[in-house]
Amino acid sequence: MHRTIFTTPVINTLLRGFSLAFLKLTGWKVEGALPPEAAKSVFIAAPHTSNWDLPYTLMVAFALRLNPYWMGKHSIFKAPFGGIMQWLGGIPVNREQSNNLVAASADAIRTADGPLQLIVPPEGTRSKTRYWKTGFYYIALGAQVPIVMAYMDYNTKRSGLGPLFKPTGDVEADMAAIKAFYAPFKGKNAAQFEASAD
């Protein structure tokens, strides 16, 4: 995959040092580590309730030495910002050529020539939503990679990587199990996060 802010020498080291210092000073605890078998994986990013989630997610990614990527419409990768978007971990997807974003994302993971952790917020929005989108699940299933249950709990100031989850194909049962894991966590705007099983 292309070089990103997370794999750029010197900058990576500086930003990791800053991230570790900032998280410690502000009382955040970073937990877990990425197992070798999850070098290629789909990350659930939850709860996602605030714009503050992004900078904290980036700092936690630096602290844990992750190599995260995200999918975006190809239009936001046009000049003059295309290079910056890719450097920040973006992967352009042309929906006119591939109207199935799930299939395109799974293919990007399968064909990557190195580690690739694709971050997908299951709510699909920062606004309150009761029903989670299942795109992350089908991306992992299609790419035959595990789901990493990453979390950020503003209540206890804990963030990190939970257990790996391997999709079985029984989406209803699997989603219930995944949402049960996330039920205790509180986002910055806790009222906007709903992880109870339906």
Parse the chain into domains and list their residue ranges: 11-190
- Cβ 172 vs Cβ 184: under 8 Å: no
pLDDT of residue 63: 96
CA dihedral 47, 119, 94, 80 (to 10 degrees): 90
- Cβ 137 vs Cβ 175: under 8 Å: yes
pLDDT of residue 195: 53
The angle that helices 171-182 and 135-143 make with each other, rounded to 10 degrees, is 120
Q: One digit per residue, pLDDT tens: the chain, 198 residues? A: 688 999 999 999 999 999 999 999 999 999 999 999 999 999 987 776 777 887 888 899 999 999 899 877 778 788 888 888 889 888 776 666 555 778 888 888 999 888 899 988 775 443 434 447 788 999 999 999 999 999 989 999 999 999 999 999 999 999 999 989 988 888 776 555 455 444
pLDDT of residue 96: 64
Residue type, 124: G
With H, G, I as helix, E, B as strand and everything else as coil, classify residue 4. Answer: coil
Please give the Cα distance from 88 to 44 (Å, whole number): 18
Please give the Cα distance from 168 to 172 (Å, whole number): 10
Strand partners, 93: 73
Question: Which stretches within 26-162 are classed as H helix?
Answer: 53-63, 82-87, 101-111, 135-143
pLDDT of residue 181: 93
- Cβ 55 vs Cβ 88: under 8 Å: no
pLDDT of residue 91: 79
pLDDT of residue 180: 92
How many alpha carbons lie under 13 Å from residue 151 in its C-beta half-sphere? Answer: 25
| DSSP single-letter state for residue 6 | T
